[in-house]
Amino acid sequence: MAGLRRVAVFGGSFNPPHVAHVLAVAWVLSTSDVDQVLVVPTFQHPFAKELAPYPERVRMCELAFDWFPHARVRVSRVEEQLGGESFTLRTLEALKQYHPDWAMRLVMGADLLIEAHKWHRFDRVKELAPPLVLGRSGTSAEGAPPAVLPAVSSTDVRAKVAAGDWACARSLVPPKVLNYIKERGLYTS
């Protein structure tokens, strides 16, 4: 590990990014031995989930995490460069190829730990980037740490926006992201 840059890779749909995503990054930077968190928005979801356009989600991530120093948190478009369906293994292998001087960790919520059996070659994912699992309120998974993240989901945020419940959405999404959602008319139908 000596001489390697320690990078925590935080991937997800970020559809949209919300306060629990921001708290996850703050938690990792505060409690883990990492130099940087790389936020990696999914380009094309492998389970065919409907997502807001990729450039919109990237921009929302930039807005959500812009108050962190750029040297500590960066939004990456690596999955766009790779094209096609986004698989964590393919992303990590590409990052390792581009940055052989990186020692990676994979940031994941306990809710994703439950779905790990669905992931393509999760055994290899764990080799390339041992998971940093963050407990999430309302989720219990075997081996998961205690909850450190609130039970906020992008699904809930989209529902609040679609219903025009901006007051509730305001408590779930960073202000710059919520303003962007309003300006662009995202998630309204």
pLDDT at 9 over 70: yes
Average pLDDT score over residue span 107-127: 78
Instruction: Give the pLDDT of residue 140.
Output: 66
Q: Provide the number of structural domains found in the chain.
A: 1
Q: Which domain holds residue 20?
A: 5-150
CA torsion, ordered 65, 159, 116, 110, to nearest 10 deg: 60
Instruction: Give the pLDDT of residue 184.
Output: 96
Look at 53 and 115; give whichever has higher pLDDT. 53
Q: In angstroms, rounded to a whole number, what is the distance separating the alpha carbons of residues 53 and 1? A: 37
In angstroms, what CA-CA distances link 140 with 19, 31, 110, 117, 125? 20, 21, 7, 16, 22
Q: How many other CB atoms are found less than 10 A from the CB of residue 127?
A: 11
pLDDT at 48 over 60: yes
Q: Is residue 177 part of a domain?
A: no
Look at 123 and 120; give whichever has higher pLDDT. 123
Q: Is residue 159 part of a domain?
A: no
CATH number of the domain enclosing 32: 3.40.50.620
Instruction: Note the pLDDT tens digit of each residue in 11-47.
Output: 999 999 999 999 999 999 999 999 999 999 999 876 6
Instruction: Give the pLDDT of residue 44.
Output: 84
Tokens matching residue 171: 């408590």
Instruction: Give the pLDDT of residue 148.
Output: 80
Q: Is residue 186 part of a domain?
A: no
